Structure 1
Amino acid sequence: MKKFLYPSVSESFGSTLVNVTTDRSAGIKIQHEKEDYIIGHLALSEGKAPHKGINSAPDDLDYQLLLKSGLVIAADYALDKPISLTTGFPHATFNIFKTAASDYISKLETIRQDTRPYGGPGYEDVEVNLERINIIPELFGSIITAREGDMNIRGNMFVVSLGYGTLEFGLCTDNGFIQRTLNSGNGLRYAIDSAMKEMATTHYLGLRTEHQFDQALKNGSITINRKRIDLTEIRKTVMKQYYSNVISPLIQNTWIDEDFNKSSTLILVGGGANYPELVNCFHDEFKGLLKIEIPDDPLTMASTGYCLHSANKRSSPDTLSLGLDIGNAHTCVTILE
C-alpha cells in the first residue's frame, strides 16, 4: 500500500508557484470553478491563512477541494485503470452526508490542476475514472484495518477515535457495532482552543489559525517574536482537561458494566492517539479493566480500512483500490495497486 498524509487545509491563491517542492503530494494546486487553490502542505508553507471548516458537508468548498486533491494523487497510480473508491464520515454525520457525497463524487469527470509547484509544465486536466463509490462510517474503516491489517484483532473490541473535530467511540462485535455503545462528542479541537486561549493571556499569537497552532502544539513549541516558546506543559494540561471534561464523562454515560464483560481490548485511533498525555489518561482510567492497543500509525487507520473495503468491492483485480479519509486535521490517501 502507498499512503499520503497531508494537512486538511486550503487557501485561494492567485499567484504563480514554480518548483517550490519536488514532492507531488506537497505541491497540490487545484483550479476549482475557475479559481486556484493551494492545498495541504503547500497551503501551510505558502499560504497566509490556511483553513478548513469542522465536519464539512459534501457541498462545502473545503470538502470538495480535499476530495479532488486525493483523486489527483490517486490518478498518478491509476493511469488508465478504473478506481474503486471508499470514503466516509463520522457516525454523527454519516446518514446526513452519505447520499450527497456519493452524488457529488459520481459527477466528477475531470480535475484541473497546476503542476508547476512540483516542477510540472503547467495546467493539466486529470481524468477521473471511478468504477465504484462506497461511503461507510469512519469507525468501520478503523475496524476493518484492526481485523484485516497487521493488528489482526479478533472478537469484540472497544474503539475510540480521537479526531480533531469529532470524538467517537463504540463497542464492536463480530456482527458490527452495538448501537447503544456508540456516541460522539467534541474532538481535539477542544484542547487546541483551550491551549490558544491560555497562550493568548501571555503572548500575542498574531493571525495564526487554529490549524497552524495545532501543528505547533504537536511539535511542542512555537516561535513568537523570534523566541521559541515551549508548549509541552500547556499541552499536558489541556489534554488532561480535555479527557476529564469531555472524554471520560461521555464514556461513563454510554458504556455500562455489562459492556466490559464483552471485551477486554480498547483500540485508540486518530490523531489524539499520538499524544502520550492523552493516552496516559486512558491507561489510568481503565487500568486492570481494559488492555489499551495503539496501532503503529493511528492517523491512517480509517483510510487503510477504506482501501481494504475498496479492494473487497472491486469488480476486477485490475481496478485500483483507493481509500480517502478527509479528516478535520489531516487527509489520508491510501492506494492498493
Structure 2
Amino acid sequence: MKISVFPSVYESTRSDLNGVSNDLLNGLKIDYNDESYMIGNLALQEGLSPHRLMNCAPGELDFDILFRAALLLAQKKAGSNFSVTVGFPFEMYQKYNDTAKQRLTKSFDVLYDSSTFENGLNSGTQSATMQLQNVDVIPEIAGSIISLRYGKQQEKDDFFVISLGYGSMEAVVSRSSGIIRRTATSTHGLRYAVNMMKEELQKEHYLGFKTEHQLNVAFKNGEININKRMVDLTALRRRVLKSYFENIIRPALANAFQDSDFATSSKLYLVGGGAYFKELTDRISKEYDGILNIKIPDKPEQMAVKGYCLNTAMQFEGEGIPVGIDMGNANTLVAIMDEEE
C-alpha cells in the first residue's frame, strides 16, 4: 500500500511559483472557482498564513480544495478510474454520510500548475480528469478497526480502540460481529492541549502571527522559536497533556465503557497521531494497568487511511484501483492499493 501525506493547510495565491519544489507532493497548486491555491508543504513554504477549518464537510471550501489535491495525488498512481473510501468523525458521519456519497461519486476535473515542480514546454496549467466509480463513507474509527482486523495485525479478538486525533478523540469497543454502539464516544482532540499550550505561552511571550499549524508542529517537536530564540516546550507539553487527559479523556472513557465491556475484552489499541506522545499514552496505560493490554501499532496515524483503502477493496472488488483518503485535521493522507495486494 502506497501512502502519500501532506499538511492539511492551504492559502490562495496570485504568484507565479516556477521551480520551487521537486515533485507534485511538495508542489501542490490547484485552481478552483477562479482562484489559485497553494496546498500542503508548498503553502507552508511560500504562504503567509496557511490555514484550514476543523472537521469540514463536502461543499465547504476547505474540504473541496484538499479533496481535489488528494485526488490529484491518487490519479498519478492509480490512474483515472478508481473507487475510494473517506471517513468522518463519528458524530459528523451520521450527519454527512449520504450527502458526502452524493457529492463525491462523480467525475472530477482538477486544474493544477505543474510549473511548481516541472520545467519545459509541457509545464504550466494542466487538467487531470478522474472518475470516481464508487465512494463509500465510514466513521474514522471504523477505518482503524478495519485496518486492525484485516491489515497487518489480523486481530481476531474483541478489543477497545482509542483514536487520539488532532480534531477529535474517539473510542469504541470492537467485537468480531461489529462495534458496540453504546460504547462509541467522541470528544475534543489534541487541539485542546495545543490551545492550552498557546494560552500558557502568551502569558510570557508574544507569539505574533503564528498559525495553528505552526503551534501544532511546535507541540510535536517540543520546542518553538520565539523572537529568534528557541524555547523548550517539553515541561509545558507534559502539563497540558496531563490536564487534557484528566479533564477530557478520562471522563469520556468512564462514561463510555462499562464493567461488562472489560469482562469480554482485554486489549486496548491506541491509534492516531496522539499515540506518539508518551506523556499521554503512559497516563492511559496507568489508567488501565492490570486490566487491559495496551498496544500501539506501527505508524498509528496511518491506521484510519489504511482501513479506508482496505474497505474500498472489500466493498468494490474489481471496480478500479482501491483508494483511501483521510481528510485529517493535521495531515491529509492518501492510500493506494498495490496491484499485488
1:67 maps to 2:88: no
Structure 1 residue aligned with 2:294:
292
Structure 2 residue aligned with 1:260:
262
Secondary structure (helix, strand or coil) at the match of 1:182 reads: strand
* Cα displacement (A) at 1:316: 1.8
Secondary structure (helix, strand or coil) at the match of 2:336 reads: strand
Structure 1: distance between partners of 2:108 and 2:251: 46
* Cα displacement (A) at 1:52: 1.2
Among residues 211, 214, 235, which one is paired with 1:212 in the alignment?
214
Structure 1 residue aligned with 2:104:
105
* Cα displacement (A) at 1:323: 0.3
Matches within 5 A, 1:43-62: 43-62=43-62
Note if contact 2:11-2:37 (Cα within 8 Å) is conserved in structure 1: yes
Structure 2 residue aligned with 1:282:
284
Structure 2: distance between partners of 1:295 and 1:224: 35
Structure 2: distance between partners of 1:17 and 1:71: 22
Structure 2 residue aligned with 1:76:
76
Provide the aligned length of Structure 1 versus Structure 2. 335
**Superposition RMSD on alpha carbons, in Å?**
1.2
Structure 1 residue aligned with 2:329:
328
Amino acid in structure 2 at the alignment position of 1:50:
P
Amino acid in structure 1 at the alignment position of 2:332:
T
Structure 2: distance between partners of 1:109 and 1:15: 25
Secondary structure (helix, strand or coil) at the match of 2:17 reads: coil
Structure 2: distance between partners of 1:280 and 1:6: 28
Secondary structure (helix, strand or coil) at the match of 1:253 reads: helix
Long gaps (5+) in structure 2: none
Secondary structure (helix, strand or coil) at the match of 2:154 reads: coil
Amino acid in structure 2 at the alignment position of 1:71:
L
Secondary structure (helix, strand or coil) at the match of 1:26 reads: coil
* Cα displacement (A) at 1:215: 0.7
Long gaps (5+) in structure 1: none
Structure 1: distance between partners of 2:300 and 2:115: 33
Structure 2: distance between partners of 1:11 and 1:100: 26
Amino acid in structure 1 at the alignment position of 2:197:
A
* Cα displacement (A) at 1:211: 1.5
Structure 1 residue aligned with 2:22:
22
Structure 2 residue aligned with 1:141:
143
Structure 1 residue aligned with 2:170:
168
* Cα displacement (A) at 1:152: 1.7
Structure 2: distance between partners of 1:213 and 1:108: 37
Matches within 5 A, 1:164-313: 164-313=166-315
Amino acid in structure 1 at the alignment position of 2:9:
V
* Cα displacement (A) at 1:246: 0.1
Note if contact 1:84-1:313 (Cα within 8 Å) is conserved in structure 2: no
Amino acid in structure 2 at the alignment position of 1:198:
E
Amino acid in structure 2 at the alignment position of 1:325:
D
- Deviation sequence 1:117-174 (CA, Å, 0-9, x none): 1225111110112111111111111011101111221121101111111111110101
* Cα displacement (A) at 1:23: 2.9
* Cα displacement (A) at 1:107: 3.8
TM-score under structure 2 normalisation? 0.96
TM-score under structure 1 normalisation? 0.97
Note if contact 2:105-2:133 (Cα within 8 Å) is conserved in structure 1: no
Note if contact 2:272-2:301 (Cα within 8 Å) is conserved in structure 1: yes
Amino acid in structure 1 at the alignment position of 2:23:
D
Structure 2: distance between partners of 1:325 and 1:315: 20
Structure 2: distance between partners of 1:212 and 1:119: 28
Structure 1 residue aligned with 2:2:
2
* Cα displacement (A) at 1:315: 4.1
Structure 2: distance between partners of 1:292 and 1:244: 19
Secondary structure (helix, strand or coil) at the match of 2:14 reads: coil
Name segments (4+ residues, structure 1) moved above 2 Å: 106-109
* Cα displacement (A) at 1:108: 3.8
Structure 2: distance between partners of 1:36 and 1:73: 17
Amino acid in structure 2 at the alignment position of 1:305:
G
- Deviation sequence 1:156-212 (CA, Å, 0-9, x none): 110111111111111010111111101111111100000001011111111011121
